[in-house]
Structure 1
């Protein structure tokens, strides 16, 4: 299966737009996760590894044109969940990676400390099965690199790589300005004719614009990209609890799970059903999973793109709410907040019709410190 349809020139132009290469940029590194017994291989994952290998080869061919000295690729055993910490060891393995598994890279590869790879690289690209965004964001601050993560990338996303990201940047900066000034965001959901409201506390927080251009120091974000996100206030200031409260509905198949939110945490599942029971037990086992970690405002739907069945792309189409880890976005919930390191997660729930057909965002209203209110979404479409 061949996932790649980008020519060498297309790829070079994409990288130049995304990274705006500097004279100091000398080492570009691809990092790619591989299957194991707990998470077996599948066609899209195999094709993504092949794409990464192809991009590595093409980037190696034009590295001198963009001032790079080294373009390298490393593999690692998948970490079991989205946005969990990366393993301590990477592997340099020769040859095409279609048949690579955790066992194969250990047997055939050269083991290299993850910290050593991070310390020597200037730019990182992570086309992975499980999202490496959270750990890469934190590592970038420690090791001073820039990068882009591409979890779950599939061929249907290729049109998104050809967008005018200058226009995307302009659009999301407009949203960032509003979120930076707001102190509350009220989200009203329509679930099969019944309304639920989540009042989100935005005090003590600034939004982040993720436009697909990673030109600033120590910055990592998704590609494709096109969203402005903000971490709700999590109540970390003594004597100043979070005001985030209400009900958040999420559709799993035919079932609607209703989470009761208090203090920016999902503290109870109000609904009944098989998935409701599963979510209820997840909150009991891992209270940190219930943290409301992000409110995302994707704009790529305005650029004519459609849902493709992968969070990397679909969350950029409209409103999404994430549960779990938040410290990589500027919050306080980190892997240490979880009881089991294997269950560290940051998971997005995306409110677009193709993914949650029975839930509509009836409206989203921002409240500002001066008391003014502004409606920014109606019937799942942005109005600003």
Structure 2
């Protein structure tokens, strides 16, 4: 195995003392809700019959939904709604989509099993919607927020580590740090990433950014503008205008592939180690529906957080970066579900590069070009001096 060093950032996260999760503080900081705002919670279930009588509470496979009930629903009912002068507090369930950021079904149920419509009964009637789910709902919920005028947050994959670290932080501070790093990277022309493999080979991918304004996921969703925060937050991101080169990908079964990128799209995968059938399956998907290979995001983490085992938090860790394939309309891009050959392919899938996730290759270096300025952003999963100086600035 490659001996990629444990980053100083991650080491400090392990010993950092986080405050206890506080639903009042989280909702107050993120939304600053005004008097009488109506709030609800959405969960996803494989079978809606599990909602009736709260049957999902007895299913060990529904840990995320159980946390939604325990920490959010019960937290709202046990004082937080009164403290924030909120109304509502109901919980609803819809059928799991089966993929990250796939369009949501319209049918949902309340906790008595009554069938309702998200578009008729939920979206128009709530001011704040929290989606605490297995599969990310950020892209579709953002589109519905703009259509129906609500604000919200998506918190897919929530676990105990996330509750007591990524959701327990001060989001005013998170927002300030994200803005410092955004300013350090905004209007970049391109970013190059060198990946070092165990066999000594170095793969390089160049992402063209065309001087665009960098965006940030900073956790604050205040005011009256319809918007959806992705929590935990803490990220600076771009929508690439093109890309060329190669990068490694670790598949779910541990297989490692070498991906070739041309004109902003993955065109093929080649086996480095593992299961050839996994590579063949990916190549068949790229051939059948080429939009599944389009690179729709380049993101950089901005927070000092412990590894949670869930990408929703781990991609927000300072010193990591990630690419994403698929739809990017919720990020200001132009790739929409309608452009995919098959509906189930219209996902937004993050590919995270982090020591715990990809120990068999190293991020040797990430470089930014902005006009005549050239800066090193990351080396060996550690933020370089340029980013650390940006964070230290007043």
Q: TM-score under structure 2 normalisation?
A: 0.83
Correspondence for 2:136: 131
Whether 2:347 is the aligned partner of 1:350: answer no
Contact 1:251 1:359 survives alignment (8 Å): no
Structure 2, unaligned stretches of length 5 or more? 1-18, 49-55, 388-394
Q: CA deviation at 1:44?
A: 6.4
Whether 2:191 is the aligned partner of 1:185: answer yes
Structure-to-structure mapping, 1:146-295, within 5 angstroms: 146-158=151-163, 159-192=165-198, 193-203=200-210, 205-216=212-223, 217-233=225-241, 242=242, 244-252=243-251, 253-271=253-271, 273-295=276-298
Contact 2:187 2:214 survives alignment (8 Å): no
Point out 4+ residue stretches in structure 1 off by more than 4 angstroms: 41-45
Say if 1:170 and 1:344 are closer, same or farther in 2 by CA, change over 3 A: same
- Please state whether the residue corresponding to 1:156 is helix, strand or coil: helix
Q: Is 70-79 or 126-135 further displaced after alignment?
A: 70-79
- Please state whether the residue corresponding to 2:34 is helix, strand or coil: coil
Say if 1:115 and 1:282 are closer, same or farther in 2 by CA, change over 3 A: farther
Correspondence for 1:85: 103
Correspondence for 1:380: 381
Cα deviation digits, residues 197-253 of structure 1 (max 9, x gap): 1110111633221122222522212211211111111xxxxxxxx3x1111211235
Say if 1:221 and 1:113 are closer, same or farther in 2 by CA, change over 3 A: closer
Contact 1:264 1:292 survives alignment (8 Å): yes
- Please state whether the residue corresponding to 1:213 is helix, strand or coil: coil
Structure 1, unaligned stretches of length 5 or more? 1-5, 95-107, 234-241
Whether 2:58 is the aligned partner of 1:56: answer no
| Distance in 2 separating the partners of 1:157 and 1:177 | 27
Correspondence for 1:17: 29
| Distance in 1 separating the partners of 2:379 and 2:236 | 18
| Distance in 2 separating the partners of 1:338 and 1:382 | 36
| Distance in 2 separating the partners of 1:44 and 1:323 | 31
Correspondence for 1:237: none
| Distance in 2 separating the partners of 1:308 and 1:134 | 23
Correspondence for 1:100: none
Contact 2:366 2:376 survives alignment (8 Å): yes
| Distance in 2 separating the partners of 1:189 and 1:45 | 36
Report the number of matched residues. Answer: 348
| Distance in 1 separating the partners of 2:202 and 2:375 | 20
| Distance in 2 separating the partners of 1:251 and 1:185 | 21
Correspondence for 2:3: none
Q: CA deviation at 1:186?
A: 0.9
- Please state whether the residue corresponding to 1:162 is helix, strand or coil: coil
Whether 2:40 is the aligned partner of 1:29: answer yes
Of structures 1 and 2, the one scoring higher in RCO (CA 8 A, sep 6+) is 2
Correspondence for 1:110: 115
Say if 1:56 and 1:13 are closer, same or farther in 2 by CA, change over 3 A: same
- Please state whether the residue corresponding to 2:237 is helix, strand or coil: strand
- Please state whether the residue corresponding to 2:283 is helix, strand or coil: helix
Q: Is 313-322 or 124-133 further displaced after alignment?
A: 313-322
| Distance in 2 separating the partners of 1:115 and 1:189 | 48
| Distance in 1 separating the partners of 2:137 and 2:118 | 17
Contact 2:181 2:302 survives alignment (8 Å): no
| Distance in 1 separating the partners of 2:66 and 2:138 | 20
Q: Is 9-18 or 191-200 further displaced after alignment?
A: 9-18
- Please state whether the residue corresponding to 2:203 is helix, strand or coil: strand
Q: CA deviation at 1:367?
A: 0.8
Q: CA deviation at 1:45?
A: 4.8
- Please state whether the residue corresponding to 2:297 is helix, strand or coil: strand
